[in-house]
Amino acid sequence: MTLPVTVPAPGLPARVRIHEVGARDGLQNEKSTVPTEVKAEFVRRLAEAGLTTIEATSFVHPKWVPQLADAEQLFPLVSGLEGVELPVLVPNDRGLDRALALGARRVAVFASATESFAKANLNRTLDESLAVFEPVVRRAKGEGVHVRGYVSMCFGDPWEGAVPLPQVVRVCKALVAMGCDELSLGDTIGVATPGHVRALLSLLNEEGVPTDVVAVHFHDTYGQALANTYAALQHGVTTVDASAGGLGGCPYAKSATGNLATEDLVWMLRGLGIDTGVDLGLLVATSDWMAGQLGRPSPSRTVRALSHKEQ
Ligand code: HMG
Ligand code: MG
């Protein structure tokens, strides 16, 4: 298999943790619902490829995201995977109840930097949604569960346009103050560019949010996800969200397309000599298999380039 030559660049981390979101962010947006056993096989294969943080599903209202309505059936099928963390999304107390009942040890609440998306995604104003999250985070922390706080629309919003950075920082600080262990900065509609990423990370630092609690979550709508990731790595970010095969989007933001493809990320990191623990060949084979299940080719450039079917 073709692999990039490794040539390190200065000022970058030695290791990056990939937070794999394909099974959640990817499959939540599929028109058809993928069978539970296929999802479980997807997660198992991602683990075999060396991914150690695999976001498995969401305990949201099944009417809001029918594609993930099988969370109760799926989670037990994959929860025994050795050395693998399986974060799940919880929008409220009911979601946390469901996740804890199945033994989840990592959960994520998901806030928005804008009013419009809070309303569209959570049926609440921004401040109402933060008020819902506060007891969820407190209870999860009390149970020793790791909590991630997503912030969507950090760089732009389909209804509101540009999003002022202080507005994003306010939400980030609120999540940290609640007790979130980690933040994930979402470019839900993929409009960010590298200078914008640097500016947000710098403002967060100035406002007391350290880079080591920050992960980045880029969608690749305008082909900027890798450039944005590089900017984040230069700033010291070491956790990067990505989706195997570039699956993804958000059902409540029509302009959200696929996430940064994990294979494209691994290709770049490998070339830079940054350790991820991921076997690119096994990962490509997994995304190729999943593309077959979904009946269309992967949008990932690296999957297409390395896929045996297309050689
Ligand atoms: P709501 O309709 O306002 O809910 O929805 P409610 O609180 O009024 O409750 C209504 C009924 O729903 C009640 O049942 C609740 O028990 C039930 P009833 O008493 O009428 O029989 N209910 C639930 N049932 C199961 N599980 C639950 C749950 N909660 C309430 N967790 C709600 C509010 C938050 C539930 C809804 O808006 C929702 O589920 N939203 C989820 C949307 C979603 O999953 N979006 C995609 C993920 S975010 C994303 O993709 C962005 C990200 O990738 C980062 C980025 O790219 O930016 C993370
Ligand atoms: Mg997303």
Residue 187 C-alpha from the chain's centroid: 10
For ligand 2, an ion, list residues with CB under 5 A: 25
pLDDT digit string, tens, across residues 127-165:
999 999 999 999 999 999 999 999 999 999 999 999 999
Span 179-189, average pLDDT: 98
The pLDDT value given to residue 93: 98
The ligand whose atoms approach the alpha carbon of 187 most closely is 1
pLDDT digit string, tens, across residues 18-44:
999 999 999 998 888 899 999 999 999
Examine the pLDDT at 311 and tell me if it is beyond 50: no
Determine the Cα–Cα distance for residues 23 and 39; give it in Å rounded to an integer. 7
Examine the pLDDT at 306 and tell me if it is beyond 90: yes
Determine the Cα–Cα distance for residues 137 and 145; give it in Å rounded to an integer. 9
The pLDDT value given to residue 125: 98
Amino acid at 102: L
Token look-up 């950075």 returns: 165
Among the residue ranges 76-80, 274-278, 294-298, the one predicted with the least confidence is 294-298
Polymer length in residues for the chain: 311
Q: Which residues are catalytic?
A: 250
Q: Which residues contact 26 (CB under 8 A, 6 or more apart)?
A: 243, 244, 245, 247, 248, 258, 259
pLDDT digit string, tens, across residues 224-257:
999 999 999 999 999 999 999 999 866 676 766 7
> What residue spans of the chain are helical by DSSP H?
36-48, 71-78, 93-101, 115-122, 126-142, 165-178, 194-206, 225-235, 262-271, 280-294, 301-306
The pLDDT value given to residue 248: 83
| 3-state secondary structure (DSSP) of residue 187 | strand
More confident residue, 106 or 32: 106
Among the residue ranges 39-53, 71-85, 267-281, 293-307, the one predicted with the least confidence is 293-307
Token look-up 């970058």 returns: 12
Determine the Cα–Cα distance for residues 100 and 94; give it in Å rounded to an integer. 10
Strand partners, 54: 20
Using most ligand atoms within 8 A of CB, pick from 59, 61, 255 the residue to mutate for ligand 1.
61
Residue 13 C-alpha from the chain's centroid: 20
The ligand whose atoms approach the alpha carbon of 96 most closely is 1
Determine if ligand 1 sits within 6 Å of the CB of residue 117: no
| 3-state secondary structure (DSSP) of residue 224 | coil
Using most ligand atoms within 8 A of CB, pick from 19, 59, 60, 185 the residue to mutate for ligand 1.
60
Calculate what percentage of the chain has a pLDDT beyond 90: 91
The pLDDT value given to residue 109: 98
The pLDDT value given to residue 61: 97
Q: Give 123 Cα–ligand 1 centroid separation in angstroms.
A: 8
Examine the pLDDT at 94 and tell me if it is beyond 50: yes
Determine if ligand 1 sits within 6 Å of the CB of residue 185: no
- Report the mean per-residue pLDDT for the chain: 96
Determine if ligand 1 sits within 6 Å of the CB of residue 29: no
End-to-end CA distance of the chain: 11
Examine the pLDDT at 189 and tell me if it is beyond 50: yes
The pLDDT value given to residue 310: 46
Reported as type and span, the H/E element at residue 17 is strand 17-20
Token look-up 């920050």 returns: 214
Q: Give 61 Cα–ligand 1 centroid separation in angstroms.
A: 4
Determine if ligand 1 sits within 6 Å of the CB of residue 122: yes
CB-count exposure of residue 24 (10 Å: 0-12, 13-18, 19+): buried
Determine the Cα–Cα distance for residues 16 and 242; give it in Å rounded to an integer. 12
